[in-house]
Amino acid sequence: MQPRYATVKQDLLNAIARGTYQAGDRLPSESELTARYGISRPTVNRALRELQQEGAIVRVAGVGSFVAEQKHDVAVSMVQDIADEIRAGGQRHDCEVLELGRTRADQELAARFRVAEGTTLYRSAIVHRGDGMPVQYEYRLVNPAFCPDYLRSDFEHETPHRVLTRAGSVERVDHTIEATLPRAEIARLLRVKPSAPCLAIHRRTWSRGMVASVAYLVYPGDRYRISGTFSAASPRRSAPRRQAG
């Protein structure tokens, strides 16, 4: 007979696998699970703690537990400045600032930033270009506690990457990379057809012990590829590289 915490854990995993709870959904609270199974709160807490350690759920203090994204991850450890990358290819970087303002964290964003729902976040949307050709659409949300001056930055002359790096060094980065078809507006901004495949990167960055920013980056698929170098001593993967032509 398995321990009671293991029963709770397995039942929740089964519910996630069946689709009863999907990515971003809030799970029953510790109190609800304690009443449902007739067990102690520490027993329920152990089940949720192990699910979090295994990456199945995300727990937000004072908010609750949420189902984590269940996509396959492609790790990319190097975070590069898009402006430096464009210049390294021998082109001139410039950009268009599309949006700069504030928003409030909904349930999903609260879980990703590990803050309370309704917390103010800064947002920006920028298209980066090399010699006038769009090469990246960047939509970014920033924790004001990490970079209070973010909205006062001059993004036509300094990238968000550089502003955030100055605010604090990167401690951890999570990436999810996927092939995608761009939304009509993003396709227009990148000057590609809506049927053109693109690379999309979902990136979450930690610094100074907090989630500093969450970014959604879209690259034209015919202009970028993912490449990397690996070794047992120092595993690395590079950021997207633009193809010649």
Residues 17-67 have pLDDT tens digits of 787 888 788 999 999 999 999 999 999 999 999 998 887 888 888 888 998
What phi and psi values does residue 107 have, to the nearest 5 degrees?
-60, -45
pLDDT at 162: 94
Which has the closest alpha carbon to 133: 221, 220, 241?
A: 220
Question: How high does pLDDT run on average in the chain?
Answer: 85
d(CA 241, CA 229): 13
d(CA 73, CA 51): 18
**3-class DSSP state for residue 46?**
helix
pTM of model > 0.75: no
Which has the closest alpha carbon to 124: 140, 145, 106?
A: 140
Helices 30-37 & 4-18, crossing angle to 10 degrees? 110
Across residues 96-100, what is the average pLDDT? 96
